[in-house]
C-alpha cells in the first residue's frame, strides 16, 4: 500500500482495502508475532474532539505493535487555546512523533493538516467529513461475519447526516454488495450520496420499513436517529420507535443475520439482543484494534 | 489466588490477603526482577471520577511490570457523554485491554461492570462502596511497620461515612487486631458496620477522646472530618479541632507509633509530624505501587 | 553534570550548558543508540497548567530513551482539587516515578517542590519564573544554526514580561554574544534584568526599531506582544504592527538570518516566511526532544 496519509476511505482502492483486511486477519490470528514490530515508534494523538473508542483503540493498536503514544490531551489544556493555528500545531507535533492521528470538528481539516506534515497522518474523524478507519473496521467485520461478496446489507437509521454510513456505502461499491437503505423519509440518503453511489455502479434500494427487507439481509447495520433532527419531540418518538430493533423484531430475520452498530447506542438496539448470535457490535468495536494495527503497520512500513 | 475480579476487600480471605502482601514484599525487595514480567500487557483505565494516587499508582504498577495503560481519559471527553451505558462502555473497552481498573461514583457499579466483561476487573473505588486496593496497601503498611498480629490500632476521624475505614476494619478481623475507634459522637461507626465487626468476632472499642487510648496504640489511622457533615460551621470547627494531631499530641504516644492517613490530608495532621519517625502516610501512598503490582501479577497469572 | 534538580537556567554554568548541548547533538545524530538507555524509568508529569509542547516533548524524550511517563492529568481531575498542598502532592507522586517534571502557575513553586523530594525534579515552567529547558533548546537551536560565539542576536517583542527572553538573555552572557533588544518603549527590558545583564558583563543595546539593526543580525528571536498589555486596543494594533515580520521585512536581512520564536505565534511572524530558509521556529520546537533527552539522560546518570 503506497499512501503517505490516510484521509478518506475514498482514497483506498479495492486492492488497498483487501491488503488492510488481510493483514488485520493475519494479526488477529497471531498477535504475539507483532508485539515488537514497531518498538520505539511514537504515535502522536491530536484529538480536538472527545473520543473513547477511536482514541483508545489507536492507543491499543500502536502499543500492541510495541510502540507508544504521545498525547496532546484535551484541547482545553493545549496551546490551541492560545490561538495557535492547526497548521502550526501539527507542524510542531510532527517533531514529537513518527505518525499522527487527528480528530477535529472541521470537515476537511485532516486533508489540510496532512499538507503541512512529513510524517504519516491518519484521519480519526473530521467533523461531518471522513472517518476511514471506522469504515475499514466495518468492512473487516462484515467480511469476517458475512463475506463482502454476494452480500445483502441493510443500513438503517439516520442516513441523511451519518458520515459513517456514507463512507461505508461508498466503500461497499468496491464489492459485490446489494445495499438496502432503511430510514424515515426525512432522513433518507442525501441526493449527492445517492448520485455518487449510482455513479460507482452500486445496486441500491431505499425503504421506509425494515419488515419487507429484513428476511433477505445478511447484515443489518443500525445507526442512531438523533432527537435534535426533529423539530417536535412527539414526531421524533413516533419515528425513532419504528427504527429500533429487539429480539422480537429479529424473529423474522435469517439465523445468520449479523447486526452491527458503530456505537455508542442509546436505545435503537435493545439489550435483549446482546447475548444472541446476531449481536456483532462489540466484536465490531474490538476489531478496531487489529484493523488499526494493520493500517499502522502498512503505513509505517511504506515509509521505510 | 483464584479470583476473576477484585471488587471488594471482603471477597479476600486471610490467605488471599497474605498472598498479596507476601508477593508485594517480594516485589519491593527486588523490583528489577519484575520489569519484563507482563511485557505487552495493557491495563485499561476507566476513571469516571477524579483520582490522583489510585490512577497514577496503577499506571506505575503496570508499567513497572513491563506493561502499559490504555486510558479512557476524563469522562467529559468520552462517549459516556453521548449517553452510553456503563455496561456498553466496559464491553467495548475490554476489547482494548487485558485487564481493567474502574473508578465510578455509583456504589455497586464495579460489581455490575464485572458481570459484563471477561477480562479481570479491579475496583478502584465505587462511590460509597469498596476500594479494595486501598485496604490492601493499608494492611501492607501496617504489617511492615507494626505487624498484623497482636496489633492495637486506633482509627480516628469520620467513622460514619469513611468507606476506607469500614473496609480496613473488616479486613482486620482476619487478624489478631484490637481496634479502637475515635470520633465525635455524630460521626461514630454506623450500626451496620459495628454489627458486622461483632459478627466477625472483632475486638472493638469506641472512644470520643484520643488521649485515653493513644499511649497503648501501635498504629493511629487518621481520616479527615469533612465540614459538609456539620450543619453549622462553628460546630465543625470545635469538633474537628479535637481530632487533629501534631507533634505535641504525639508526645504521649509510644515511640514506635505508626501514623497513617489515606491522603489527601487538609489539616488533620500537622506538618510538624512529617519528619518524625511516626509519619508513615507518604510511605503508605508509595506502597500502592508494590501492592498493586502484586495484585495485578497474581490476577494476570491466575488467568493464564 | 552534578545537579539534583533543574530549576533555573541560571544554575547552569557554561560547562553545564555545553555538556547538555553536546550530548543533545550526539543524540540527534544517532537516536537509535539511545532507545533502551532508560528502559523501565518512569517520568512523573505534574502539569498544573496547560501545556502542549513542553508536556509532549518531555513525553517523547523519556519514551525515546526507552522509559515511560506517569501523568497526573489535568489538575481538575486530581486530588489538588480536594485541597491537597503542593508539598504533599509531590511527596506522594515521587513514590510513583524516578524523576518529575512540574509546571505550576506560581513563581518559585519548582524550587519549593524540589526541597520536598528525593528524585530529580525538572522545572517545566513556574509562572513568571523560570523555564530552563526552553532556554536550553533555544541555545541548542542558536548553536546549530548560527553558533554561540561571535553571535549577533536580536530579541524582539515583549521584553518586559517575557520570561523566555529574560532567561535566554542571561544564559547568553556565558557566550560571546552581542544582544540587541527591539521593542516598543512600554515593553522594554525591566530595569532589574538590564542591571543583571550588565553585571554579567553582557554587551547589550536597545532599539525601538528593527530596521536599523536587522542587516547585522545572525539570529532574530521574535516573541509575541499581547494585547492585554495595552489599555487601549488601537494603541495595541499600532504598536504590535511594527513588530510583525514577513518576507518583505526580511529582504533587508542577511541570507543566513535565523528566525526563531518560542511558539505559539499568532500573527507576529507571517506565514510567507514559513518555507524560507530563515524559518527555524519549528526546528526549534522539535529540538525540545533531543535537548530534553540529553538533560534527562545526564540527570538520571548523575543519580546512579
DSSP code for B257: P
Cβ separation C76–B50 shorter than 8 A: yes
Burial of B205 (0-12, 13-18, 19+ CB in 10 A): exposed
Torsions phi, psi for B81 (to 5 deg): -65, -20
- Which chain B residues have a beta carbon less than 8 Å from that of A53? 79, 92
Angle at B214 between CA B212 and CA B219, to 5 degrees: 150
Interface contact C105, partner A, CB < 8 A: no
Residue A130 vs residue B146, higher pLDDT: B146
Most confident segment among A298-302, B200-204, C36-40, C299-303:
C36-40
Q: For residues C138 and C221, give the distance between their C-alpha atoms in angstroms, rounded to a whole number.
A: 9
Q: Which residues contact A167 (CB under 8 A, 6 or more apart)?
A: A8, A9, A10, A130, A131, A132, A134, A135
Task: Give the neighbours of chain A: at least 3 Cβ pairs within 8 Å.
Answer: B, C
Cβ separation B74–C77 shorter than 8 A: yes
* Strand residues in A50-143 grouped as ranges (E): 68-71, 99-104, 121-126
pLDDT tens profile C62-98: 999 999 999 999 877 566 666 789 999 999 999 999 9
pLDDT band per the 50, 70, 90 thresholds, residue B51: confident
Interface contact C37, partner A, CB < 8 A: no
Look-up: residue for cell 500502536?
A62
pTM score, two decimals?
Answer: 0.96
Q: Tell me, what's the pLDDT at A266?
A: 87
Count CB-CB contacts under 10 A for residue C70: 25
pLDDT above 90 covers a percentage of chain A that reads 82
Interface contact B150, partner A, CB < 8 A: no
B46, B70, B91, B99, best to mutate vs chain A, most A CBs in 10 Å: B70
Interface contact A83, partner C, CB < 8 A: yes
Q: Tell me, what's the pLDDT at C163?
A: 82
Q: Which cell goes with B262?
A: 489515606
Interface contact B232, partner A, CB < 8 A: no
Nearest chain C residue to A68 by CA: give it: C63
Q: Tell me, what's the pLDDT at A162?
A: 83
Measured in angstroms, the CA of A79 and the nearest CA of chain C are apart by 6
Q: For residues C136 and C14, give the distance between their C-alpha atoms in angstroms, rounded to a whole number.
A: 11
Q: How far is CA C252 from CA A160, B65, C177, C216, in A?
A: 56, 59, 22, 10
Torsions phi, psi for B55 (to 5 deg): -65, -45
Q: Tell me, what's the pLDDT at B1?
A: 76
Q: How far is CA C122 from CA A40, A201, A259, C3, in A?
A: 24, 61, 52, 10
Cβ separation A88–C289 shorter than 8 A: no
- Which H or E run includes A191? helix A191-199
- Which chain B residues have a beta carbon less than 8 Å from that of C50? none
- Which chain B residues have a beta carbon less than 8 Å from that of A289? 95-96
- Hey, what long-range contacts does A36-40 have (CB within 8 A, 24 or more apart)? A36/A66, A37/A65, A37/A66, A37/A297, A38/A62, A38/A65, A38/A66, A38/A67, A38/A296, A38/A297, A38/A300, A39/A66, A39/A67, A39/C35, A40/A66, A40/A67, A40/C35, A40/C64
pLDDT band per the 50, 70, 90 thresholds, residue B77: low
Q: For residues C83 and B116, give the distance between their C-alpha atoms in angstroms, rounded to a whole number.
A: 36
To the nearest 10°, report the CA torsion of C239, C241, C244, C250. Answer: -110
Three-class DSSP category at C280:
coil
Tally of helices (H runs) and strands (E runs) in chain A: 10, 9
Catalytic residue among A81, A82, A191, A304: A82
> In the annotation, is B41 catalytic?
no
- Which chain B residues have a beta carbon less than 8 Å from that of A64? 40, 42
- Which chain A residues have a beta carbon less than 8 Å from that of B91? 282
pLDDT tens profile B221-250: 999 988 877 888 888 888 888 899 999 999
**A303 has a pLDDT exceeding 80:** no
So what's the ipTM on this one? 0.95
Interface contact A118, partner C, CB < 8 A: no
Three-class DSSP category at C109:
helix
3-class secondary structure per residue, C77-98: HCHHHHCCCHHHHHHHHHHHCC
Nearest chain B residue to A264 by CA: give it: B84
Angle between helix A14-29 and A288-303 (nearest 10):
110
Which letter, b or e, does each residue of C148-167 get, where b requires 16 or more Cβ atoms within 10 Å of its Cβ?
beebbbbbbbbbbbbbbbbb
Cβ separation A70–C50 shorter than 8 A: no
pLDDT tens profile A77-92: 566 656 789 999 999 9
Count CB-CB contacts under 10 A for residue A106: 14
Interface contact A78, partner C, CB < 8 A: yes
Q: Is B141 marked within a binding site? A: no
Q: For residues C266 and B99, give the distance between their C-alpha atoms in angstroms, rounded to a whole number.
A: 44
Burial of B24 (0-12, 13-18, 19+ CB in 10 A): buried
The answer to whether A180 touches A205, Cβ cutoff 8 Å, is: yes
Domains and CATH numbers, chain A: 5-130+288-302 (3.40.50.1370), 133-285 (3.40.50.1370)
Nearest chain B residue to A61 by CA: give it: B96
Q: Which residues contact B15 (CB under 8 A, 6 or more apart)?
A: none
Measured in angstroms, the CA of C93 and the nearest CA of chain B are apart by 8
> In the annotation, is B133 catalytic?
no
Q: Which residues contact B278 (CB under 8 A, 6 or more apart)?
A: B250, B253, B257, B258, B259
Average pLDDT over residues B122-135: 92
> In the annotation, is B103 catalytic?
yes
- Which chain C residues have a beta carbon less than 8 Å from that of A93? 52, 56
The answer to whether A13 touches A135, Cβ cutoff 8 Å, is: no
The answer to whether C6 touches C133, Cβ cutoff 8 Å, is: yes
Catalytic residue among A54, A164, A223, A258: A54
Name which of A229-243, B162-176, C26-40, C201-215 the model is least confident about: A229-243
* Strand residues in chain C grouped as ranges (E): 42-47, 68-71, 99-104, 121-126, 151-156, 177-182, 203-207, 219-222, 258-260
DSSP code for A48: S
Count CB-CB contacts under 10 A for residue A213: 17
Amino acid at each position: 500500500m503506497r499512501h503517505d496519509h490516510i484521509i478518506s476511505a475514498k482514497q483506498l482502492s479495492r486492492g488497498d482495502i483487501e491488503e488492510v483486511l488481510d493483514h488485520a486477519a493475519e494479526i488477529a490470528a497471531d498477535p504475539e508475532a507483532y508485539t515488537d514490530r514497531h518498538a520505539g515508534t511514537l504515535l502522536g494523538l491530536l484529538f480536538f474532539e472527545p473520543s473513547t473508542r477511536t482514541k483508545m483503540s489507536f492507543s491499543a493498536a500502536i502499543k500492541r505493535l510495541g510502540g507508544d503514544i504521545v498525547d496532546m490531551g484535551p484541547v482545553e489544556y493545549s496551546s490551541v487555546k492560545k490561538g495557535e493555528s492547526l497548521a502550526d500545531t501539527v507542524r510542531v507535533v510532527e517533531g514529537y512523533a513518527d505518525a499522527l492521528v487527528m480528530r477535529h470538528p472541521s470537515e476537511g481539516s485532516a486533508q489540510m493538516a496532512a499538507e503541512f506534515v512529513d510524517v504519516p497522518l491518519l484521519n480519526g474523524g473530521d467533523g461531518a467529513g471522513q472517518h476511514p478507519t471506522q469504515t475499514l473496521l466495518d468492512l473487516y467485520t462484515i467480511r469476517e461475519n458475512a463475506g463482502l461478496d454476494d452480500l445483502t446489507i441493510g443500513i438503517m437509521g439516520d442516513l441523511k447526516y451519518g458520515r459513517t454510513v456514507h463512507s461505508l456505502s461508498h466503500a461497499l461499491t468496491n464489492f459485490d454488495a446489494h445495499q438496502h437503505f432503511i430510514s424515515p423519509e426525512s432522513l433518507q440518503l442525501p441526493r449527492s450520496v445517492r448520485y455518487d453511489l449510482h455513479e460507482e455502479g452500486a445496486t441500491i434500494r431505499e425503504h421506509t420499513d425494515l419488515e419487507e427487507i429484513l428476511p433477505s439481509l445478511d447484515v443489518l447495520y443500525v445507526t442512531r436517529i438523533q432527537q435534535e433532527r426533529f423539530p417536535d419531540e412527539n414526531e421524533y418518538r413516533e419515528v425513532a420507535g419504528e427504527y429500533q430493533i429487539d429480539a422480537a423484531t429479529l424473529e423474522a430475520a435469517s439465523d445468520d443475520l449479523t447486526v452491527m452498530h458503530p456505537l455508542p447506542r442509546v436505545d435503537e438496539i435493545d439489550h435483549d439482543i446482546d447475548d444472541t448470535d446476531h449481536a456483532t457490535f462489540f466484536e465490531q468495536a474490538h476489531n478496531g484494534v487489529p484493523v488499526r494495527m494493520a493500517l499502522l503497520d502498512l503505513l509505517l512500513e511504506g515509509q521505510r
